[in-house]
Structure 1
Amino acid sequence: MELTDEQLAGQPVGYWTGEAHAAVIAFINAEQGRLGVTQRHWMTLNRLAIVDGGLTREGLAEALGRYMTPQIGDVSTYGVVLDDLVDRGWITPGPDGRLTLTEAGHAGRARLLAIAPGVRDRIHEGIPDEEYVLALKVLRRMIANVSG
């Protein structure tokens, strides 16, 4: 059912941002799933790629925990993702417990980076950059309005 602009103006933003989040994350997970990983794997590989010396399990959970949602996966089960990445040989723990990317981990991340433009293109299909920027500006303003 197509809503009029007047009807849309009365819609709850919380509902629609939740729906958008769930749909986008489901799509991203499905695309990354073709490579046998989830968004939490991707987030972990990215974080470790930019941190010299690696991070502990606790450090990773702290750094990424705020991004984990029910759709992405709860931080309480994050250890399973880390165990999987260790088992794959994509990350390795050092003697100090810090996890770092291996060559295989860098290669896995590169495969994920290669699909990222196509994932973004699909999500942004039919949406000019100007509309996308405007949507983000409105959402940022709403966040500022309620963050007091």
Structure 2
Amino acid sequence: MTTQRLTPYPRQQLAAQPIGYWTGAAHREVVGRIRKELATESLTQPHWWILNHVAASPAHWTRAELAAKLTRYDDQGIDFTEVFADLAGRGWTTEDATGTLTLTEAGEAGRIRAKERNLRAHEQTHAGITEEEYVATLDVLRRVIANLGGDSDLPE
């Protein structure tokens, strides 16, 4: 995996850069790559979130509970009703009499395929970045968010 070579800039010039621009640019690139990988399986991020939550806690989530939890992460106005219906229509999820969701074997297989694609995107994103640098970056971003009154806790 090859990483692009960065143009070096003086520290003072970098320090004057607007964080809003750079966090937005990073968001577009990272999320765009993830969405591209998921699209190969005709999945959206909400599909991915649902699959992972249901896999992590089988027979725990109902559609309403999971949609309420995941809506805060959606930036595209996704209709979760349609996403749940799509997963059920594919035969990837089932619901018991109480409406509790479980992944089927096909759903777990699809989740694993998407996970493998996302891992490749994750590896490319982290190329040339040490764990220490990554953690420091996240800590700085969390402080920026907290300074502005936002929720800087880790997502569940």
User: TM-score, length-normalised on structure 2?
Assistant: 0.81
Q: Percent identity?
A: 45
CA deviations over 1:50-108 (Å, ceiling 9, x no partner): 22423222111111111112xxx324x22221111011000122222222211111111
Report if the CA contact (8 A) 2:37-2:118 is conserved: no
Q: Residue type of the partner of 2:55? A: A
Q: Structure 1: 5+ residue runs without aligned partners?
A: none
The residue aligned with 2:77 is: 74
CA distance in 1, matches of 2:84, 2:44: 12
CA distance in 1, matches of 2:141, 2:48: 25
Counting only pairs closer than 5 Å after superposition, residues 1-16 of structure 1 correspond to structure 2 as: 4-16=10-22
Between the two proteins, the alignment pairs up a number of residues equal to 144
- Larger relative contact order (Cα-Cα within 8 Å, sequence gap ≥ 6): 2
Name the structure with the higher helix share: 1
The residue aligned with 2:112 is: 110
CA positional deviation for 1:48: 0.6
The residue aligned with 2:132 is: 130
Q: Structure 2: 5+ residue runs without aligned partners?
A: 1-6, 151-156
The residue aligned with 2:57 is: 51
Runs of 4+ in 1 over 6 A off after TM superposition: none
CA positional deviation for 1:119: 1.5
25-34 vs 88-97, which moves further: 88-97
The residue aligned with 2:87 is: 85
CA distance in 1, matches of 2:83, 2:101: 13
